[in-house]
Amino acid sequence: MTNTLYLPELREMLTENNTAGLQEFCTALHPARTAEFMEGLTAEEAWAVLQHADLLLRVEVFGFFEHQKQIEILETVDRAAVAEFVGSLPPDNRVDLLRDVRPEVVAELMPLISTDERRDIQRLSAYPEDTAGAVMTTQFARLSEEMPVGRALKEIGQQAGELETIYYLYVVDREDHLRGVVSARGLVSAMGKPDVLIQDLMERDLVTVNVAEDQEEVADKVARYNLSAIPVVDDEHHMLGIITHDDVIDVVVDEATEDAHRMGGMVPMVENYLEANFVTVWRKRAGWLSCLFIAELFTFTALASFEDAIAAILALSLFVPLCISTGGNSGSQAATLITRALAVGQVSARDWWRVLRHELAMGLALGLTLGAIGFVRAALTPQDILGDVSRWQLALVISESVAAICLWGTLAGSMLPLLFKRLGMDPGFASSPFVATLVDVTGIVIYFSIAQACLL
């Protein structure tokens, strides 16, 4: 979906060295759109165009390039120029980037980056993936408690250019402990009283996250408290960084993708679908599919143990797919519902008893509904297929089995995510295919047990 509208013009301006035109192109549009129009350019061309924007804008436009294009630029452009540029990138983004740049390039770049920035990069890249530390940025507005409003406003005016957000201003003491927060709104409202001290203006009860906390919990907190940024602290409450709302939206989207992939029965994949490596994707997909297939082999074992019943009444085998799919469908439905309720915090593992009672009633209601439909269909079976069995007997067996398996699928589907959660695993492992496979094998046993009891 590359936008090729301006590509010829851009290339012409580059060859003609049309500085005025390129400057106009860089500044006229929203940086995100500027980036879109540059998508078709090579890394060298894109870098050449960016030289016509001032550093601040260059960083912004670069930030809207695709991840792959960003890496290409860092890998191809002159090392010294790139090193200086990397020093100006937002701390959280450059760490994500450098992680994917070829190691030999990083090794060449690092000595060229200023000591302060290099330390910052090393510190941030030490945090494990998916933790608050790995998502945070170290650029935030910092105030001290004894500062008067007038000076604070002036200071923020100077810092503002480099900061990702000035919506919240964080108040720290001399040892960098987080003491409070002032909103930009609050500070601007207090403009008329320039001598009031920050400590008399600041909010002291803060919502913070620990640097080791999982990014999903961070996203939950930000959503619950409607924050536009959340401060990240260590165990001693030292102020380490902030996580801004745009990174939180990315986390929410990524986590939803991960959950969806698990629910669909595959190892979560963050790579872009069309760009991911074939073998990697095959491994992620084949892994789960093979496990499920091996588990599903037990359906053969289960069926084989009822071989005599099948030989006696052939019609029984014709209803096997219907019966077991009922369990699979009702199971995936319940599993999805509970997994999602867990994800958005509507239920917790401790609520298992309430969920069980609820799903027991629901499973019965659903089972009766499907059982009734099954009864009608089975009663319409042609007599020549049935042999010695009366159609009413068969209809009764089918409807009882469908109802029982539906109830069982609903219970298994609802309890498995809670059990996984309790065991400290991701509840999403109780995916639709997983539940369906489990219920397939047990469904066969339920069905033939009922059939044997009633018909043989």
Q: Which of the ranges 14-22, 112-120, 124-132, 322-330 carries the binding residues for a copy of itself, by CB under 8 A?
A: 322-330
Looking at residues 19 to 38 of the shown chain, list those that interact with a copy of itself (rule: CB under 8 A): 28-30, 32-33
Using CB under 8 A, which of 55, 81, 126, 260 touches a copy of itself?
260
Residue 299 Cβ vs a copy of itself, minimum distance, rounded to whole Å: 4
Nearer to a copy of itself, 73 or 406 (CB): 406
Phi, psi dihedral angles at 137 (to 5 degrees): -115, 150
Residue 337 binds to a copy of itself (criterion: CB under 8 A): yes
Residue 267 Cβ vs a copy of itself, minimum distance, rounded to whole Å: 10
Using CB under 8 A, which of 76, 325, 393, 449 touches a copy of itself?
325
Phi, psi dihedral angles at 214 (to 5 degrees): -70, 145
Nearer to a copy of itself, 206 or 454 (CB): 206
Residue 112 Cβ vs a copy of itself, minimum distance, rounded to whole Å: 28
Q: What share of the chain is helix, strand, coil (3-state, %, to 5)?
A: 70, 10, 25
Residue 116 Cβ vs a copy of itself, minimum distance, rounded to whole Å: 23
Query: Which helix (H) or strand (E) element contains residue 49?
Result: helix 43-50
CB-facing half-sphere around the CA of 312: CA atoms within 13 A: 11
Tell me the three state secondary structure of residue 42. Answer: coil
CA-nearest of 451, 436, 430 to 303 is 451
Q: Give the contacts of 268 (CB within 8 A, at least 6 positions apart).
A: 257, 258, 261, 262
Long-range CB pairs of 385-391, under 8 A, 24+ apart, other chains included? 385/314, 385/315, 385/318, 386/313, 386/315, 387/313, 387/314, 387/315, 388/313, 389/313, 389/315, 389/455
Residue 293 binds to a copy of itself (criterion: CB under 8 A): yes
Residue 433 binds to a copy of itself (criterion: CB under 8 A): yes
Residue 76 Cβ vs a copy of itself, minimum distance, rounded to whole Å: 25
Tell me the three state secondary structure of residue 135. Answer: helix
Spell out the SS3 assignment of 190-249. Answer: HHHCCCCEHHHHCECCCCCEECCCEHHHHHHHHHHCCCCEEEEECCCCEEEEEEEHHHHH
CA-nearest of 101, 420, 447, 421 to 305 is 447
Residue 426 Cβ vs a copy of itself, minimum distance, rounded to whole Å: 14
Look at strands 209-210 and 229-233 and give their pairing: parallel
Residue 167 binds to a copy of itself (criterion: CB under 8 A): yes
Alpha carbon distance 112, 6 (integer Å): 35
Using CB under 8 A, which of 67, 129, 246, 392 touches a copy of itself?
246
Q: Which of the ranges 10-18, 74-82, 194-202, 288-296 carries the binding residues for a copy of itself, by CB under 8 A?
A: 288-296
Looking at residues 174 to 213 of the shown chain, list those that interact with a copy of itself (rule: CB under 8 A): 184-186, 188-189, 191-192, 203, 205-207
Burial 390-400 (b: 16+ CB within 10 A, else e): ebeebbbbbbb
Looking at residues 261 to 280 of the shown chain, list those that interact with a copy of itself (rule: CB under 8 A): 261, 263-266, 269, 272-274, 278
Nearer to a copy of itself, 4 or 15 (CB): 4
Nearer to a copy of itself, 138 or 410 (CB): 410
Looking at residues 363 to 392 of the shown chain, list those that interact with a copy of itself (rule: CB under 8 A): 365-366, 369-370, 373-374, 377, 385
**CA-based R_g, the chain, Å:** 31
Using CB under 8 A, which of 286, 425, 453, 456 touches a copy of itself?
286
Alpha carbon distance 198, 158 (integer Å): 17
- Start-end of H helices in 306-390: 307-312, 315-318, 320-343, 352-379, 383-386
Using CB under 8 A, which of 110, 292, 356, 386 touches a copy of itself?
292
Residue 219 Cβ vs a copy of itself, minimum distance, rounded to whole Å: 8
Residue 256 Cβ vs a copy of itself, minimum distance, rounded to whole Å: 4
Alpha carbon distance 37, 3 (integer Å): 6
Q: What x-and-dash track marks residues 113-132 binding a copy of itself by CB under 8 A?
A: --------------------
Q: Which of the ranges 15-23, 118-126, 232-240, 431-439 carries the binding residues for a copy of itself, by CB under 8 A?
A: 431-439
Residues binding a copy of itself: number (CB under 8 A): 125
Using CB under 8 A, which of 14, 166, 196, 349 touches a copy of itself?
166
Residue 208 Cβ vs a copy of itself, minimum distance, rounded to whole Å: 10
Q: What x-and-dash track marks residues 73-102 binding a copy of itself by CB under 8 A?
A: ------------------------------
Q: Which residues does residue 172 pair with via DSSP β-bridges, in sequence order?
A: 144, 178
